[in-house]
Amino acid sequence: MATPSNEMNANLTWRRFKDGDHSWDSMGEKIFEQDTTFKCPTYIHKTPPCQGSCPSGEDIRGYLAIARGQELPPEGVDWHEYAFKRSTDANPFPSMMGRVCPAPCQDGCNRNEVDDFVGINAVEQFIGDTAIANNYTFETGADTGKKIAIIGGGPAGMAAAYQLRRLGHGATIFDDNAELGGMMRYGIPGYRIPRDKLSAEIQRIIDMGVGTRMKTRVGTDVSVEDLEKEFDAILWAIGCQSGRGLPVEKWNEVPNCVSGVAFLKAFNEGRMKFTANKVVCVGGGDTSIDVVSVARRLGHIETENPTDRPELVVRDGFVAHDAAELAAKEGAEVTLTSLFPKENMTAAEHEVHDALTEGVRILDEVMPVELIIGEDGRATGLKVANCTMDGGRPVPVEGTEQIIDADLIVSAIGQGGDMTGLEDLDNGRGLIDSDNFHQVPGKPGHFVAGDIIRPHLLTTAIGQASVATETIDHYLKQEDLKKRPKVDVHHFDLLKKLHEAGLDPDAFDPSAGDQRGTSSAHYAIHNFEDRSFQEIIPHDELFLGHFEYHPRNKRKEEVPTAEEVLGHFKERVMALSEDETVDEAKRCMSCGMCFECDNCVIFCPQDAVYRVKKDEATTGRYVATDYTRCIGCHICSDVCPTGYIKMGLGE
């Protein structure tokens, strides 16, 4: 878990011993001795937990190393562009994800054991914004002649198009909306995702040669059979844009009860200019926070005409408020209800805090039990009750009922897919089944990624798209699928790095006689082992005592107060400056990879560990060991901050 908020400002330091410890556990701890097992340093690459926690599998440690100046780009390449290339190997939306991803990578960050996590999403935002400002582009692979239909232009579909074009395959996106972006455009407000930057990141993918067929719904406008004839494969990335209603009687019969997805789409399309006087949203996740934040910003108008009621705009899809902006707006009373306590809501902690600052009332640990309906058939309130959880299901506490007055009730408790015309793919729950390779079971040539498998994070959809495109590539080449790695992310590739630096190992000659050991061999990396596909390195394998307290560089946020929120649509999160970005990247502990601190060289009593010659060195190939000098004392391993050195070679 991330460092608790109340501890983030303390000057914390890591301590090897606790108060009261006054004796050594063993003589081996007191004095380093020659090791009689003949174990010597081995250089082990492992995956850092930030990357292991990232659903899209970004090489986070890699682009932080580039930003801090430790990993150098090829000659003639600016570090900003090099960091952009490393970041987008997994995720083509750094500007977007740096803003809205809830950053599970930061929860997993080992720096939480020292002071506070590294601001990974802040660095990613800087990388993405800089790439837009500098007009960086993507490269495409050699044309294979194969064509793939991608159904859905959201984060999964766009990421898949990007990865397929990198492989040289043709990609055409079908989407029933007027613009690409999916939930990034129609589900998240512009003050969280600036539309100019979203459009820039989408256009960069389209410029790779991606075809589009907009306002086209597969299953009704175009048949699946026609797609199967025209394309070599089909990827389903249609997302979940149908909101679930509340489990109360007459929900579907009451006009002013709407879904959070529909509410946000009406706002993001520019059709809804104001909302109701009293808005109640049931949820607790990110969508519900967006709903209540938008409602507070929109406000309401007192002289509302029945034809201008917000639910008509939300439900119709074509009706729009036209003159509302000219009317005097007033703040709306907005209430958010959640089954769980505030600290356990699935929305990000800072989003909940921001909503409270903006004047949203949050009732936690309550459940909806009944709609209060007036004589005109519209809801006038929502009855809720305190609740307890029993096996994951809420149970009302008798005698705790209360009625929340409401002119508009919004359900943000989950989403499903719209499978109209695609009934053959429906698994009975409004979703599409997937195997571990993101193939649709029983449908050769059909693949699936994103929320339509199971609604989750934007970055999850992007990560699934990456795996799906690899599977599609194997399918098109008629290759057998191999077992996915245990740690299934985009790994740092030392051989690729050596090739980039012109340091490729020699070809291995199997007929050259006894070639055991890689200490001095030129066909392999000096006693290097890549375990990144199997292991994530925990904090207890690092020498945390190396790291001093270094406060996090926090992005400035413009969060309006309850009095300021009406009409406030400015972007909330401000990017770090370049100096702040570089300083934040320097806080990265480079878990599982050498970051060239020289501890092993300095502390080796035998001068056995040495720096590799500059013209032979690169990231991951900075130090080596003279095994004729090494006595196996394991000091180098003990003082390695990143856990990169392990004692091996012995029996």
Give the model confidence (pLDDT) of 34-91 as tens digits. Answer: 566 678 899 999 999 999 999 999 999 999 999 999 999 999 999 999 999 999 999 9
The rounded distance, in Å, linking the Cα atoms of 336 and 519 is: 63
Percent of the chain with pLDDT over 70: 92
Cα–Cα distance measured from residue 498 to residue 504, given in angstroms and rounded to the nearest whole number = 5
Instruction: Give the class (CATH, top level) of 147-242+417-476.
Output: alpha beta
Is the pLDDT score of 275 beyond 60?
yes
- Residues 213-216: contacts with CB under 8 Å, at least 24 apart: 213/172, 213/173, 213/174, 213/175, 214/153, 214/175, 214/177, 214/178, 214/179, 214/180, 215/175, 215/176, 215/177, 215/178, 216/174, 216/175, 216/176
What is the DSSP code string of 63-107? HHHHHTTSSPPPTT--HHHHHHHHHTTT-S-HHHHHHH---HHHH
Q: Which CATH class is domain 245-415?
A: alpha beta
Name the band, by pLDDT with cuts 50, 70 and 90, for residue 283.
Answer: very high
The helix/strand/coil state of 331 is coil
Average pLDDT over residues 474-493: 94
What band does 651 get if pLDDT is binned at 50, 70 and 90? very low
* pLDDT for the residue 34: 59
Q: With H, G, I as helix, E, B as strand and everything else as coil, classify residue 358.
A: coil
Start-end ranges of CATH 3.50.50.60 in the chain?
147-242+417-476, 245-415
- Name the residue with tokens 């057998």: 480
Gap between the Cα atoms of 122 and 574, Å rounded: 9
Could you read off the pLDDT of 631-643 as tens digits, one per residue?
A: 888 899 999 999 9
The mean pLDDT value of the chain amounts to 91
| Sole residue written with tokens 């001093």 | 548
CB burial of residue 169 (10 Å; 0-12, 13-18, 19+): buried
* pLDDT surpassing 90 at residue 20: no
For the cut 50, the answer to whether the pLDDT of residue 618 exceeds it is yes
More reliable by pLDDT, 482 or 518: 482
Those residues with Cβ within 8 angstroms of residue 443's Cβ, 6 or more apart along the chain or in another chain: 425
What confidence tens digit (pLDDT) does each residue in 108-166 have?
A: 999 999 999 999 999 999 999 999 999 999 999 999 999 999 999 999 999 999 999 99
Residue 553 has pLDDT above 50, yes or no: yes
Determine what percent of the chain is predicted with pLDDT higher than 90: 80
Amino acid (1-letter code) at residue 245: G
What was the pLDDT predicted at 7? 52
- Alpha helices (H) along 400-477: 458-476
* pLDDT beyond 90 at 527: no
Q: Which residue, 314, 409, 334, 408, is CA-closest to 368?
A: 409
Tell me what pLDDT residue 521 has. 77
Question: Which amino acid would we find at residue 457?
Answer: L
- Nearest-angstrom CA–CA distance, 43 and 637: 10
Q: What is the pLDDT of residue 18?
A: 62
Q: How far apart are CA 255 and CA 409, in angstroms?
A: 10
3-class SS of residue 30: helix
Instruction: Look up residue 252 and give its DSSP letter.
Output: G
pLDDT number for residue 648: 82
Which of 221-225, 257-261, 514-518 shows the lowest mean pLDDT across its residues? 514-518
Determine the Cα–Cα distance for residues 147 and 470; give it in Å rounded to an integer: 15
21 — pLDDT class (breaks 50, 70, 90): low
Sheet bearing 361-364, strands edge to edge: 257-259, 408-411, 278-283, 333-338, 361-364
